[in-house]
Every structure is written in structure tokens, then in C-alpha cells.
Amino acid sequence: MTFTIPDLPYERNALEPHMSRETLDYHFGKHHQGYCNKLNALAKGTPYETMSLEEVIRSSFEKEDTGVFNNAAQTWNHTFLWNSMSPDSNGTPRGSLAARIDESFGSLDAFRQRFKEASVGQFGSGYVWLVADGDKLDIISTANAHTPLTSSKVPLLTLDVWEHAYYLDYRNERDRFTDAFLEHLANWEFAQANYDAIGKG
Ligand code: FE2
């Protein structure tokens, strides 16, 4: 089968002023589409063609098939990223996840501080993730294309901290970009749905 990427779940200017249309034109239209195109070229004529995207990620990771892994993981990670943001965000979790955030990190402010430290502290390219790890919530960062999908941790929310995610809007200021995500873009309904799906909600 041919791997495809879903449409953005909002218009390309919907996240302004926190993330510009130009950033989404490049990040979604060029980078994300480019990873998917490369994945299709690499998978053609191989057993990967018959697998789901998640199966390709896990299989290529185990085989250390780096080219396929990088492009498959980037295809999946970016779709998860678009869903991790919403034009309707007020930055505040509700429901069971709000209580678990308080239990796990002390407060929403303490969660934001830890998330920001993980973002700024990630050397080079990667992602910051809120994950469910057994009965706990945790914040982890991953390098390059790496994703919690190859571990037992369940991703709930992510932020892409590659420079292509923020350089047009924030130049080198990853901290300011992370603040904007946490205060104005984080899609807590999506995180809650992911949490509910594993039966922890
Ligand atoms: Fe990206």
C-alpha cells in the first residue's frame, strides 16, 4: 500500500499568531510530505509495503533499518504533532488528566516548567512528549525521529523541537516557542482522548 498523510486538522493560518501559515506551509507541506514520499520510495517492493505505519516503525527499529525507520517515524510523529495542537486551546487540561498532572508533577505550572526544561535541554533535533508510563505520567525527550512507539510508554501529547518547527516564527528562541505551545496551542482534548484510550481515564 501507499502511505499517505492526513490533511491538517485545521486551516494553515488557524494557529496564528503563535504559529504562522508560512511555518505550516513548510513544516506540513514540505517536511512532513517529504518524509512520507521518501518512506514510499524506500518501502516500494519490500515487505514494509504490506504493513501498517506503526508496524513499519517497530519492524525497522528492531532491524536497525535506519532510513526506513527515520522516514516512517517522522511520518507518524508529525501527524501526532498536528493533533497535539488546536486553535481552540486555552492551554489547560481538564478532566482526569488535569488531576493526574497535579499528582505527577505537583501543579500545571510545574508540569510546564519540566516540559520547557526538556524542550530547551534537548540537544539538536527531537521531540518532547507527555507519556503514560504504566500508572504514571512522565515527560521525555527523544532525539531526531525517535518516538515512544518503540517503547512501552504511551504518547499523549508532543512538541516537535526541530528548528524547522519554529525558526521562521521564533528564530533561535526555542524557549519562547515552547511557552507559546504550552499556553496557547496544546490540545488537551487530544491528550485526554489518548489517555482514555489506554483505560487510565
Ligand atoms: Fe518537524
User: Where, residue-wise, is CATH 1.10.287.990 in the chain?
Assistant: 21-83
Q: From the CA of 170, how far away is ligand 1's center (Å)?
A: 15
Q: From the CA of 35, how far away is ligand 1's center (Å)?
A: 10
12 residue type, one letter: R
Surrounding residues of ion ligand 1, Cβ less than 5 A: 160, 162
Task: For 69-112, write each residue's pLDDT tens digit.
Answer: 999 999 999 999 999 999 999 999 988 999 999 999 999 999 99
Domain covering 21-83 in this structure, CATH number? 1.10.287.990
Q: Please, are residues 85 and 186 in contact by the beta-carbon 8 Å criterion?
A: yes
Q: How many helices (H) and strands (E) does the chain have?
A: 9, 3
Integer Cα distance of 186 and 8 in angstroms: 15
What is the reported pLDDT for 200?
67
Fold topology of 95-197: minor pseudopilin epsh fold (3.55.40)
The owner of cell 504504566 is 134
Q: From the CA of 27, how far away is ligand 1's center (Å)?
A: 6
- Average pLDDT score over residue span 124-144: 97
Using alpha carbons only, how large is the chain's radius of gyration in Å? 16
Q: From the CA of 32, how far away is ligand 1's center (Å)?
A: 7
Q: From the CA of 15, how far away is ligand 1's center (Å)?
A: 16
- pLDDT band for position 155 (cuts 50, 70, 90): very high
Positive or negative torsion for Cα 6, 7, 12, 14: negative
User: Where, residue-wise, is CATH 3.55.40.20 in the chain?
Assistant: 95-197
